Amino acid sequence: MKLYIALTIASLKMYFRNKQALFWALFFPLLVMVIFGLMNFEGFNSPDVGVHDAANNDASRALIEILRGESGEEVLSVSVGTPEEILHDLEFGGSRAAIMIPENFGVQGEFAELKVTYDERYPQERMVISTVLGQVTDALFKELAGVPDEYRVENTIGISESLIEGQGQGFKGWLIPGIAAMAIMQTGLFTVVFTLVRFKSQGVLRRLKATPIGASHFLAGQLTTKAIVVVLQTYVLVIVGAVVLGVGIGGGRAGAWFDLTVMALLGGALFIAMGLAISGWAKNEETAAPVANIISMPMMFLSGIFFPLSIMPDWLTRWSQYLPLTFLADGMRAITVEGAALTTLGSELLGLGAWIVVAFAVATKMFRWE
Amino acid sequence: MTSTIDPVIVARDLRKTYGDIKAVDGISFEVKRGEVFGMLGPNGAGKTTTVEILEGMRDADSGDAIINGINVKDDPRGVKSIIGVQLQQNAFFDNLRLAEIIDLYAKLYEAKVDPIELLSRVGLEARKNGKYAQLSGGQKQRLSIAVALVNDPVILFLDEPTTGLDPQARRQLWALVRDIRSNGSTIMLTTHYMEEAEELCDRIAVVEDGKIIALDTPGNLIDQLLATGFRPEKRIREATLDDVFLNLTGRDLRD
């Protein structure tokens, strides 16, 4: 134990004296976070709406199709989900309206009522969505009923509107936990890969193997250091985000910090294991770097770090929702933005856990000392 | 170092094969306590593999390596804790100071040392706060010897300690080896420099193709050769070019 602590302290010293590692672990994500946070991309997109389709027939599918906009020009950014999901999104700033399509939608002769809920904090978007819905349902009804355009008949599609007050913190609040998750990935993958591959190629690990203790203790100290770094890094990013961008954390719940720490450690374990697998396999830095990049780069864009997954095509998000970074970013976001407790994040924890098992299995199989 | 087991190294019919290559092909020898024993041979002769088997870094296919009475394959950790090792390629951490490196390795051997004292023993006291990457080739080798001494080893293994060093650095290292030897340590070294073997070693094993082809004191080996009627092609001059270089640049410890 004494030895383990001594080794951890030594490797902490090594880490914090390594200016490059510090830059990538701390300053780079901070920079990205502040720049993106200040740019505030919210205004650029077509409004996000969530739709629950209880009817699931030709008529309702046609409605969703039209809402999405035809021939590539997006009218509304539509994501389909359960009533709980879409209301949850609305409440926490993930969308601007939740639209419930009733079961009898499109059934001949029946009056179907679309229930639409808006976030009252965004009146402009509410206007846009409301107008679009009105026009679209009118056109759709006429088309379905085969009524010529010039006739005026009473529409059997009704719209009822209601308001809630959302509690999300906008793009900034959404961005911070994502960047923190990304920083965990970068630290886990890159600092592990670069230090270990260098130690391996230079023969540092071989020299350690000649000691009675062996290199595994040393490795344990190194990994502990990375875990400590990952947690510190998360705190710094979240705190700076809160101060500079003015975002609250976990709705003021004290337990959020504990939950955040657990999430950071899980994410750290996952990406450290991935780093171990790569550094076990790679002979030198030249072969290790591209592999680490191939793994991390797509995740940076497919895991909803800078932009919500809802703006991506469905065929892509169907897969990207299972990426390790997606689970981590979603989990951290739920804790910081929605004030969710760790115990409610079953699917994220399960997803992370599964990936951790896979990554450690691969790492133990791949790792070589020389 | 209270143990009096002698010979302190026993190698008995060591064999190690890599694919079709017999790297070590039945090597046997003994090293007495306090001796400087040299293994001499061209690159790829099997010197390093033999040494690594003795150090517990590599398993032999067959044969026994017994260090201070401990069979290496029974207790590699026990062997590692009483020997000092300088590998052919040594590397230490970039972001630690020299004194911190010594301290860390002392902990790995569960030994207590004064890092500064050890550094001064190898002439690196002035660099105690320096970094490994900033050291010259000779300084790096001396640091790795200092690291090998943290556990006050019964035997010090030096694998090609002066390869790639300039003549001055080589002489400094020789002086250091003699100093360590005078403190009672047994030293086993490999080299492909004849001059080095002659300068430092009490006995020499000449290795080729994984086998020992000659084993004796340097003096005896030369006498045996001369007894066969051998005469060098050129009369050897009193001084060598090495000496000229040293005379011009100074023999003192220069960093």
> Residue A296: CB partners within 8 Å, gap ≥ 6?
A185, A186, A189, A190
Greatest C-alpha distance within chain A: 92
> Residue B61: CB partners within 8 Å, gap ≥ 6?
B15, B16, B17
Q: With contacts defined as CB-CB under 8 Å, which chain B residues touch A210?
A: 55-57, 80, 85, 87
Query: Residues A84, A336, A173, CA angle at the centre, nearest 5°?
Result: 90
Judge if the upstream peptide bond of residue B7 is cis by omega within 30 degrees of 0. Answer: yes
Residue B83: is its pLDDT beyond 90?
yes
B253 falls in which pLDDT band (50, 70, 90)? Answer: very low
Q: Tell whether B57 lies on the interface with A, counting CB pairs under 8 A.
A: yes
Residue A151: predicted pLDDT: 63
Rounded distance between C-alpha atoms, residue A341 and residue A169, angstroms: 18
Listed by number, the residues of chain A in 188-217 with a beta carbon closer than 8 Å to a beta carbon of chain B are 199, 202-204, 206-214, 217
When CB atoms are compared, the residue of A14, A207, A213 closest to B91 is A207
Q: What is the DSSP letter of A310?
A: G
A163, A118 contact by CB (below 8 A):
yes
| Three-state secondary-structure class, residue B154 | coil
Question: Which residue matches tokens 């409440």?
Answer: A91
Chain A residue closest to B93 (CA)? A204
A129 falls in which pLDDT band (50, 70, 90)? Answer: confident
Report the interhelical angle of A215-245 vs A255-281 (nearest 10°).
Answer: 130
Q: Contact B95/A3, CB-based, under 8 Å?
A: no
Quick one: CA dihedral A130, A136, A137, A138, positive or negative?
positive
Q: β-strand B70-71 against B83-86: which pairing, if any?
A: unpaired
Show the domains of chain A with their CATH numbers: 2-38 (no CATH), 48-164 (3.40.1710.10), 170-366 (no CATH)
- DSSP H or E stretch at residue B231: none
pLDDT tens digits, one per residue of A201-246: 888 888 888 898 877 788 888 889 999 999 999 999 999 888 887 7
A103, A119 contact by CB (below 8 A):
no
Residue B102 φ/ψ, nearest 5 degrees: -60, -45
Nearest to A192 by CA among A131, A279, A91, A98: A279
> Residue A98: CB partners within 8 Å, gap ≥ 6?
A49, A50, A51, A52, A83, A86, A87, A89, A90, A116, A117
A159 falls in which pLDDT band (50, 70, 90)? Answer: confident
When CB atoms are compared, the residue of B57, B95, B104 closest to A210 is B57
* Lowest mean per-residue pLDDT among A34-38, A275-279, B203-207: A34-38
Residue A154: predicted pLDDT: 63
Q: Which bin fits B215, alpha (ψ -120 to 50), beta or left (φ > 0)?
A: beta
Nearest to A14 by CA among A5, A22, A3, A2: A22
Query: Among A9, A20, A213, which would you mutate to test the B interface (most chain B Cβ atoms within 10 Å of its Cβ)?
Result: A213
* ipTM > 0.95 for the complex: no
Report the gap between the CA of B91 and the closest CA in chain A (Å). Answer: 5
> Residue B90: CB partners within 8 Å, gap ≥ 6?
A203, A207, B140, B141, B144
| Three-state secondary-structure class, residue A174 | helix
> Residue B181: CB partners within 8 Å, gap ≥ 6?
B34, B36, B187
Q: What is the mean pLDDT of chain B?
A: 88
Q: With contacts defined as CB-CB under 8 Å, which chain A residues touch B105?
A: 211
Structure tokens at A300: 């940076």
Residue B183: is its pLDDT beyond 90?
no
Q: Which bin fits A145, alpha (ψ -120 to 50), beta or left (φ > 0)?
A: alpha
Rounded distance between C-alpha atoms, residue B219 and residue B207, angstroms: 18
- How far apart are the two ends of chain A, measured CA to CA in Å? 26
Greatest C-alpha distance within chain B: 57
Rounded distance between C-alpha atoms, residue B70 and residue A200, angstroms: 29
Rounded distance between C-alpha atoms, residue A350 and residue A27, angstroms: 31
Residue B200: predicted pLDDT: 92
Rounded distance between C-alpha atoms, residue A357 and residue B30, angstroms: 50
Residue B75: predicted pLDDT: 93
Q: Tell whether A293 lies on the interface with B, counting CB pairs under 8 A.
A: no
Maximum mean pLDDT: which of A127-136, A250-259, A274-283, B78-87: B78-87
Rounded distance between C-alpha atoms, residue A241 and residue A176, angstroms: 6
pLDDT tens digits, one per residue of B8-19: 999 999 999 998
Maximum mean pLDDT: which of A42-56, A62-76, B2-16, B34-48: B34-48
Alpha helices in chain A (DSSP H): 2-16, 19-22, 28-39, 58-68, 83-91, 123-145, 170-186, 192-202, 204-209, 215-245, 255-281, 285-302, 314-320, 324-338, 346-366
Nearest to A87 by CA among A98, A77, A79, A96: A98
Report the gap between the CA of B233 and the closest CA in chain A (Å). Answer: 42
Rounded distance between C-alpha atoms, residue B120 and residue A40, angstroms: 60
B100, A10 contact by CB (below 8 A):
yes
Q: With contacts defined as CB-CB under 8 Å, which chain A residues touch B94?
A: 14, 18
Quick one: CA dihedral B141, B48, B149, B9, positive or negative?
negative
Residue A258: predicted pLDDT: 92
Q: Contact A6/B104, CB-based, under 8 Å?
A: yes
Q: What is the DSSP string of A12-53?
A: HHHHHT-HHHHIIIIIHHHHHHHHHHHH-GGGGSPPEEEEEE
Q: β-strand B203-208 against B36-40: which pairing, if any?
A: parallel
Mean pLDDT for the stretch of residues A295-322: 84
Residue B255: is its pLDDT beyond 50?
no
